[in-house]
Amino acid sequence: MISLLDYGAGNVRSLRNAIHALGFTLNEIAHPEEILKAERLIFPGVGAFGAAMERLQRLGYVEPLKEYLAADRPFFAICVGLQTLFEGSEESPGVPGLGVIPGQIRRFAGQGLSVPHMGWNAVRLERPAPLFAQYAGEKFYFVHSYHAAPSAENADWQLALTDYGQPFLSAVQRGAVAAVQFHPEKSGAAGLALLRNFLAGETAISSAMPRPSTAPTRFAKRIVACLDVRTNDQGDLVVTKGDQYDVREKSGEREVRNLGKPVELAARYFDEGADEVTFLNITAFRDFPLADQPMLEVLKRASERVFVPLTIGGGIRAFTDADGRHYSALDVAHEYFRSGADKVSIGSDAVTAVEAYRARGGVKDGSTAMEQIAAVYGNQAVVISIDPRRVYVTAPEDTAHAVVETATPGPNGERYCWFQCTIKGGREGRDVDVVELAQACEALGAGEILLNSIDRDGTGAGFDLELIAQVRAAVSIPVIASSGAGCVEHFADVFAATGVEAALAAGIFHRREVPIQAVKSYLRTQGIEIRN
């Protein structure tokens, strides 16, 4: 029997799904006294250090947990769960941790280092361990802004190190107590194998396990598969795909293009090696998304099959329903997380929030969806989806917006352009450029940018490198390049020219024109680090 310590810190649905998929049953701990009765205890970590410790305190879990750990009983913690084993964290000054491992958790810092460390990275084992019984150097999915550094005082806990700017502890173990900084439940087959080792109480070590090594681990670029989802004219939820955001057939009845069923397609992309899967509910701006039960059902079913990060976007904003009941953007996001999302993506609401932020003179007042969701679920769970369009100008002085000099001049030979943010799926342009939007969203707590391009969407002409380079240079959070991928070379181009952390495609994957593994094989030949 496995016991899960769900202390309400965020989405643990992914972990539950992974444990069920591995064939184990779960006992959910609901009272402090159940902790000491557990046979194997699993401790998920989501959200901020302080929030996690505060919840553990409030629920009366801290003392029984310390007693369980002191008795060296089987224990496995994930992400912030690992961090709470330490004495404290820079993230939440003054909040004591469980104090089992000496030392403090610190924020990542370094020139040109994107924070959070979000994506796939390997581990260097310090010693063989049954937890990593079948480990053969695969990468795991990490998402965190804070880390535990190896030191003399925690030497007896060090199980594995990972490098991101500096080496940090990616796995710790002493006796029966173990913890990992990455998310095994979101790390594909390698993560599931590791989780099974804990759940099954594995004690053997494979002779194939890599020898301890000092060669730094390498962080991978991510390949993301995106599914634009909407209801078609027959009322079915389908995966669609537009050309420059027009998702209707060009002839006949102009039906909504139907490229497949959302859950089946998401599962196919997981099996084919996508590093992440994103669902965008593209017409959610029209209706209240929580009334859209089929979309929530899609998410629930997809999360039972997809063991890499799942992002969902569309309609995340405050809403008052027909009965006058008010829902905050956090309520909407909460429902998406409960249904299996690991991250939520905000489009239109981010643009209007930034306009209001600008009107307030750049003062944060906690009122935006970004701030509220980040405070509860962490910055890494808040993605901003930008839908920009080129606006050409003759000279930089012709606009107050941030321009680029462009290699593809405008219709009248204009050599400069700025990138205008739009809302409602490109239907309405606003007086905000991508640089202002991206920087303001970073300040308001966004953890990642999903950067589309209406001009390139569905064209297969390649990513808009000028747009992407401009945004990449403006922020320090990770950027996902999107729109226009037509062949494997386009992925290498965008990584080489802009330094983005991830690249996303839709049409070429849906139509099976370019398989995900073909993209990865090509990137490997170009010396670009990717997950196998």
Note the residues at the interface with ligand 1PR (CB under 6 A): 226, 228, 241-242, 245, 247, 280, 282, 284-285, 313-316, 345-349, 385, 387, 425, 452, 457-458, 482-485, 505-507
Q: In angstroms, how far is the first alpha carbon of the chain from the final one? A: 33
Choose the catalytic residue: 91, 126, 138, 185.
Answer: 185
Least CB distance to ligand 1PR at residue 370 (A): 12
Least CB distance to ligand 1PR at residue 509 (A): 8
385 in Cβ contact with 437 (< 8 Å): no
* Minimum CB distance to ligand 1PR smaller for 84 or for 453: 453
* Minimum CB distance to ligand 1PR smaller for 35 or for 282: 282
Least CB distance to ligand 1PR at residue 208 (A): 38
Least CB distance to ligand 1PR at residue 180 (A): 31
471 in Cβ contact with 434 (< 8 Å): yes
* Minimum CB distance to ligand 1PR smaller for 12 or for 471: 471
Structure token digits, residue 155:
């030497």
| 76-112 CB burial, b ≥16 within 10 A, e <16 | bbbbbbbbbbbebbebbeebebbebbebbbeebeeee
Residue nearest to ligand 1PR (CB): 425
Mark whether 79 is an active-site residue.
yes
The label of the residue with tokens 């000099």 reads 405
- What's the Rg (C-alpha) of the chain? 23
The SS3 call for residue 189 is: helix
Helical H segments across 216-261, by residue range:
none
Least CB distance to ligand 1PR at residue 282 (A): 4
The number of helix segments (H) and strand segments (E) in the chain equals: 15, 28
Choose the catalytic residue: 183, 334, 401, 510.
Answer: 183
Mark whether 401 is an active-site residue.
no
Choose the catalytic residue: 79, 417, 421, 441.
Answer: 79
Q: Cα(20)–Cα(391) distance, rounded to whole angstroms?
A: 50
The SS3 call for residue 393 is: strand
The SS3 call for residue 467 is: helix
Q: Cα(186)–Cα(191) distance, rounded to whole angstroms?
A: 7
* Minimum CB distance to ligand 1PR smaller for 348 or for 498: 348
409 CB-near residues (< 8 Å, 6+ apart): 392, 415
Q: Determine the residue type at 236.
A: D
Least CB distance to ligand 1PR at residue 422 (A): 9
* Minimum CB distance to ligand 1PR smaller for 101 or for 226: 226
Mark whether 414 is an active-site residue.
no
* Minimum CB distance to ligand 1PR smaller for 131 or for 434: 434
Active site residues: 79, 183, 185
